[in-house]
Chain A
Amino acid sequence: MPGKKDMSGFDDDFNLEQMEKETEEMLKMRYLDKNNAVFEATEGGFVSLKTGDEEYSRVQVVRMFPFTDPDHFISIRTSDEISKEIGIIKNIKDLPKETAKLLENQMNLRYFTPVITKINNIKDEYGYAYFDVVTDRGACRFTINMGGSSVVHLSDTRILISDVDENRFEIPDIMKLSANERKKLDLFL
């Protein structure tokens, strides 16, 4: 390696090693489970984590497959802007019940999506569709843009609807709606 020692006597090799270590860290899958991680509720409504000799006063709980596999592969990340991954929970069901509940509460808010249980009316006018529905969180009225990709088919029977502000609503199984309701939804199926 010629031509690098002119760097004001700085120890290059050490630096390179450190960089490699960082890269290694980035590529590693680090699993968190009940034996190596302790999650606790914080006073402010968040979750803290102790793992090994690391301590985080607040972590983010993020699903890797929010639609298809919500209970597995949950990424625990730092709460700062960079949001670095601390570790992965392979299966939330393997955690103690209390802990699982704690994390689920965090995720419920993160993935807040009212489930539409009843469709009162859908009116399609001038490129927008006006929904009047009942959800598990109460009656809702919202508007979607007909032009874009506001209605996404997660599977053949499951759809996700985003309104003009990207608030989300979900219909987990359209077959569970009445024939009449499905007819109203026909435009999007």
Chain B
Amino acid sequence: MSKCKFPKAVRALLSENKIEEQDILAASGTDMNTECEYADGFVVLTSKKLAVVTSAPDKNEVHSFKGYQSRIKEELEEIDRPWACRIYELDRLDKLHAEALVACSVLVADVDGTALRLTVFSNLYKRDIHNVVRTVDRLKNPSPMGVEEAGKGPERDKKDDEYCPVCGMMYPDKTRKVCPRCMDRKSIFRRVLGYFKPYIGKIIVMLLACFATAGLNLVWPYLNGKILYDQVLEKNNEFLARFGIEDGRFVTGLLLVVLTMLMARITIAILYVIHSIFTARIVTCVVRDMKKSIFEQMGKLSISFFRSKQTGSLMTRVMSDAERITGFFIDGVPNTIINSLTLIVSLVMMFSLNWQMASFVIFVIPAVMYIGLKLRPKIWTMFGRRHRAERSVNSQVNDNLTGARVVKAFGQESRETERFDKNNNRLRTAEMGIVVTQNKVRGAYSVIYEVLNICVYIVGVYMILVKHEIELGTLITFTGYVGQLQGPINFFSRIFHWWADSMNSAQRMFEIIDSIPEIQEAENPVSMPSPKGKIELQNVSFGYEVNRPVLKELNLEIKEGSMLGIVGRSGAGKTTLVNLISRMYDPQEGKILIDGVDVKDIAFKDLRRNVAMVSQETYIFMGTVEENIAYANPDASHEDVIRAAKLASAHEFIMRMPDGYNTRIGSSGRELSGGEKQRISIARAILSNPRILILDEATASVDTETERAIQRSISYLVKGRTTISIAHRLSTLKDADYLVVIDNGRITERGTHKELEEQRGTYFKLMELQRKALALKE
């Protein structure tokens, strides 16, 4: 029933007040007092009373918010502190509600007629308190569905506020039930690998090229040093004999070695080309696939997803993420293998050549790596800073491009340039910082490397000249291998961050791919190819945020084939209402039925086909006029398109454009006026031939004359369809069979034109006002 757990002391206190756990209908924690201090408390509801439990603030307590341990309230179990309890009989309590302040809320009620602050809570408990408040509402005003519903409280979304069963962390995002902390990086890794699977053939070729290059690179110092100097140039006959060359023919031997060396170089070059070509092929394919799956998923997500995130930045981020992930996999993974091999083989070779010098080298490696690891985090934050600077430059450019007209109209170009300069300079500074630090690192590296090299030479020369322990070729080979170490050392100091970065990107990508659309099709959807079009709203409540309801317990019935007009001031909830009918959002409470079937159960395909909306925000896609009109119905004949355009009064202006129905419109084409766009959208809706037509301020930006023309076609159109029309201009609604006035999320007036006129309420007032305005014009 309630997931609230009480400390022992509170349980005892409640039972002193005759509240037993089984009587509790709803409960919530609270965490503040009216003095703006954090103080633990509870609100507990039974069918008869409401108990408010409070305690004194404890300065030593750590206050944990969402995202931290489930510790919240549970650990309190053992904490003994003085709890106080106030009991309010529900009979004496009225208008219980949570008042949202800026970042916290107050629970307010009229007790014996006086408005009282019962308790204060942060947004952490917003949902739970809301649940308590709604339960009280249901107790006080039993819904027509029956009293037994009252105890249940609003259906709590199972997706909400769940904890990770492994580490006890709350999921920071309820749409994604994967604990970010427990999510196995290895599993992300494996999932990303999945994207590479289709290209396994290419990958094998690429890897072979990689390994071959690495192998040849390792052989190179040997050829260059040991063989060239110590065998051929030292005139070693034994060596020649091994290759079947006669004694003394050192020129032939030299030629052979040089040829081999040349071949090795050429092969390395060829392998490099092969490697590059295949890498490019694989990367582009995988990036494309990833982007495709992100785009696909984005299409599936509900409107609320796009409301809650900055879509633009999200999109760019994800798009560049795909590249970053792939980059690591294609460069990082094979390189890890190659570099480890190179490192091991080089070391082995060094030891086999000369252990004294080798042991000298082996001490330097950890030192070099340490410096690398130490400096990387700094570069890391610098990259982050650059990313943010880049983002602000980008968003400002975006802002100014969209608002170009306003900037020009108010003559603010120079100030915008200044603002841009500021951001741009920040980006420059960030960029410079990275380059400087990177160069410092690089500089330090090469100094260390050079010092190491020189030391090796000194030791080597000493060994050759003084001790005669080694030969020149050995030294050259050895330094060759020291040179081979440079790559792996550099690489390994970078790989950890690279790996983390790539995994983070991957995680962000999967975050979107795994998001569960809030609006989902029912498991066994009801097929409804041609509904009659009767719409019922039963006790529908909805808000974009908890605690701030936009629609409150609406009840409404729209008969099949009739036209409903909705009137109300802006922000009253009209658009929200129609959004619920077309299932852009689901109501938090109550039901919406079409032909007696809950819209939640209707198959998406049928719902979308039968409910068409012309909204106040018109959108024209890139493409031709014809494509735009036939958007929902690409197979429509030319005749159908023309008829729809005519009905929407769009035909004439379309024909005035040079390319007629083939004129390219949308963001890359010809610019249309607001009224023209609206008429195209109306034509689009007409062509989709829906059973239920929703017109949300569909004719708000056309002139009165055009509106009359569209009006006529709409009156022709609405025959046999259920139509819901929202309008500020009452003349638009003159064909409506039934009208409702919505104010503050409630239906305040309803009836036919005549009935509403007689009621002399808001509708009448609006009518008078518009009549006057028209009269003034005349």
Q: Give me the interface of A with B, judged by CB distance under 8 Å.
A: 1-4, 7, 12, 15-16, 19, 42-46, 57-58, 66, 79, 81-82, 108-113, 125-128, 130, 137-143, 145, 147-149, 162-168, 186-187, 189
Contacts and interface: CB of A to CB of B under 8 A. Distances in A.
A108 B120 CA distance: 13
21 contacts: A12-B768, A42-B114, A43-B116, A82-B744, A109-B104, A109-B120, A112-B103, A126-B180, A126-B504, A127-B507, A137-B38, A138-B63, A139-B63, A141-B65, A147-B313, A147-B314, A147-B317, A163-B65, A163-B66, A164-B67, A165-B65
A57 B226 CA distance: 99
Contacts of A57: 115
A110 B775 contact: no
Contacts of B157: none
Contacts of A19: 765, 769
B64 interface: yes
Contacts of A166: 103, 123
Interface stretch (B29-37, B443-451, B621-629): B29-37
A138 B36 contact: no
Contact of B68 (A1, A79, A141): A141
Contact of A143 (B37, B59, B66): B66
Given A142-B64, A143-B65, A145-B172, 13 more contacts: A4-B771, A12-B772, A44-B117, A108-B36, A127-B511, A138-B60, A138-B63, A140-B64, A164-B66, A167-B122, A168-B103, A186-B385, A187-B384
B466 interface: no
A138 B56 CA distance: 13
Contacts of B68: 130, 141-143
A81 B180 CA distance: 40
Contacts of B772: 1, 4, 12, 16
For the complex of A and B, the 9 pairs showing the least CB-CB separation, nearest first, are A143-B67, A126-B180, A44-B116, A165-B123, A142-B65, A168-B103, A45-B117, A139-B62, A110-B101
Nearest to B71: A141
Query: Which of A66, A82, A109, A142 counts the most chain B CB atoms within 10 A?
Result: A109
A4 B108 CA distance: 47
B126 A165 contact: yes
A147 B309 contact: yes
Contact of B310 (A108, A138, A148): A148
Interface string B499-526: 0000010011001000000000000000
A112 B181 CA distance: 30
A19 B765 CA distance: 9
Contacts of A108: 36
A137 B775 CA distance: 61
Given A127-B507, A165-B122, A140 B101 contact: no
A140 B508 contact: no
A13 to B, nearest CB: 10
Given A109-B36, A140-B62, A148-B310, A186 B67 contact: no
B102 A138 contact: no
Nearest to B771: A4
B106 interface: yes
Contacts of B771: 4
A138 B62 contact: yes
B124 interface: yes
B34 A44 contact: no
Interface of B: 32, 34, 36-38, 57-68, 101-104, 106, 108, 111, 114-117, 120, 122-124, 126, 172-173, 180-181, 183, 308-310, 313-314, 317, 381, 384-385, 504, 507-508, 511, 744, 765, 768-769, 771-772, 775-776, 778
Given A141-B64, A142-B67, A147-B309, A126 B183 contact: yes
Contacts of B65: 140-143, 163-165, 167
Nearest to B545: A166
B577 to A, nearest CB: 18
A49 to B, nearest CB: 14
B768 A43 contact: no
Contacts of A142: 64-68
A164 to B, nearest CB: 5
A127 to B, nearest CB: 6
Nearest to B778: A2
Query: Which of A43, A108, A126 counts the most chain B CB atoms within 10 A?
Result: A126
A137 B103 CA distance: 14
Nearest to B58: A138
A44 B113 CA distance: 10
A186 B378 CA distance: 11
A189 B317 CA distance: 19
Contacts of A147: 309-310, 313-314, 317
A45 B507 contact: no
A168 B124 contact: no
A158 B264 CA distance: 62
A113 B101 CA distance: 11
Contacts of A125: 180-181
A45 B116 contact: yes
A112 B114 contact: no
A44 to B, nearest CB: 4
Contacts of A186: 381, 384-385
A98 to B, nearest CB: 18
Contacts of B313: 147
A52 to B, nearest CB: 22
A45 to B, nearest CB: 4
Contacts of B120: 109
Nearest to A135: B63
Query: Which of A7, A42, A79, A165 counts the most chain B CB atoms within 10 A?
Result: A165
Contacts of A82: 744
B34 A109 contact: yes
Contacts of B57: 138
B66 A165 contact: yes
Given A110-B101, A164-B67, A165-B123, A127 B309 contact: no
Given A147-B309, A166-B123, A167-B124, A1 B775 contact: yes
A89 B621 CA distance: 50
B106 A167 contact: no
Nearest to A108: B36
Nearest to A183: B381
Given A45-B117, A112-B101, A128 B67 contact: yes
B180 A148 contact: no
A113 B36 CA distance: 9
Given A112-B103, A168-B103, A127 B32 contact: no
Contacts of A16: 768, 772
Nearest to A140: B63
Given A164-B67, A167-B65, A112 B32 contact: yes
Given A141-B63, A164-B66, A44 B103 contact: no
Contacts of A44: 108, 111, 114-117
A100 B103 CA distance: 22
Nearest to A44: B116
A58 B36 CA distance: 20
A81 B748 CA distance: 14
A103 B772 CA distance: 43
Contact of B508 (A15, A113, A127, A138): A127
A7 to B, nearest CB: 8
A164 B36 CA distance: 20
A95 to B, nearest CB: 21
Contact of A110 (B102, B124, B183): B102
A94 B107 CA distance: 31
A46 B38 contact: no
Contacts of B32: 112
A23 to B, nearest CB: 11
A79 B317 CA distance: 43
Contacts of A12: 768, 772
A42 B108 CA distance: 13
A130 B58 CA distance: 23
Nearest to B313: A147
A70 to B, nearest CB: 12
